Amino acid sequence: MEEKEISQAVISRLPRYFRYLGELKDEGVERISSQELSGLMKVTASQIRQDFNNFGGFGQQGYGYNVEYLYHEIGKILGLDQTHKFIIVGAGNLGRALGNYLNFERRGFIFQGIFDQNPDLIGQMVRGLPVHPMEELETFVRENEIEIAVLTIPKTSAVAVADRLVQNGIKGIWNFAHVDLNLPEGIQVENVHLSDSLMKLSYNINRFMQEEE
């Protein structure tokens, strides 16, 4: 495969391909054409072919792609053939929800620990693991070679905690704190700003209702 820079827009679409192919595989479908996939996913067949060409095209034959092969290749591109150890910083409702989400483990994301500064939460169990105090964060990340930290803490503390994580070798941050983090190059950040998403929904509802009036 040629090494080239692939746009974040293409990368954003890969997990969705992976999800649809996983379902097709589970349903026993062996081959699928870009036209059929296009119909299922509501994207154009040419978009699909263009996206796949970034990765060498996955060898579409006259009668389509091999579903199992395509599923595994996209999984490999997404790094899902390896395991990734993660911790959660913030043991509030959202942090605990993410810790209990079993699907992540199926994809190779291994929940290793959860941290909070609230003394009332320390020692409580989340999916079999105790909540650690924040003082143990640095040592824990280094000793367990944690790759990913999930931040489910208020925005006021998120920037400082992210810096501590980066200094101790974290590779990526999955950021639910409602603030944009500016981290050194090479540290990957994926933001999930839930309020932003809700506001976008609100905009679209309002807009549609105005058009109807």
Judged by the rule CB under 8 A, the positions of this chain that interact with a second copy are 11-12, 14-16, 18-19, 41-42, 77-80, 82, 84, 92-94, 96-98, 100-101, 103-104, 107-109, 147-148, 171-172, 174, 178, 180, 182, 186, 188-190, 192-206, 208-209, 212
Closer residue to a second copy in complex, CB, 25/178 = 178
185 and 159 in contact (C-beta within 8 Å)? Answer: no
Tell me the one-letter amino acid at 101: Y
Tell the residue number behind the tokens 């699907």, with chain if given: 103
Least distance to a second copy, CB of residue 68, Å: 18
- E strands, the chain, where? 31-32, 65-66, 84-89, 109-116, 125-126, 129-133, 148-151, 172-175, 188-191
Closer residue to a second copy in complex, CB, 161/173 = 173
Closer residue to a second copy in complex, CB, 116/147 = 147
Least distance to a second copy, CB of residue 211, Å: 8
Least distance to a second copy, CB of residue 135, Å: 25
Whole-angstrom distance, CA of residue 24 vs CA of residue 70: 11
Least distance to a second copy, CB of residue 16, Å: 6
194 and 170 in contact (C-beta within 8 Å)? Answer: no
Q: Count of residues for the chain? A: 213
Closer residue to a second copy in complex, CB, 86/115 = 86
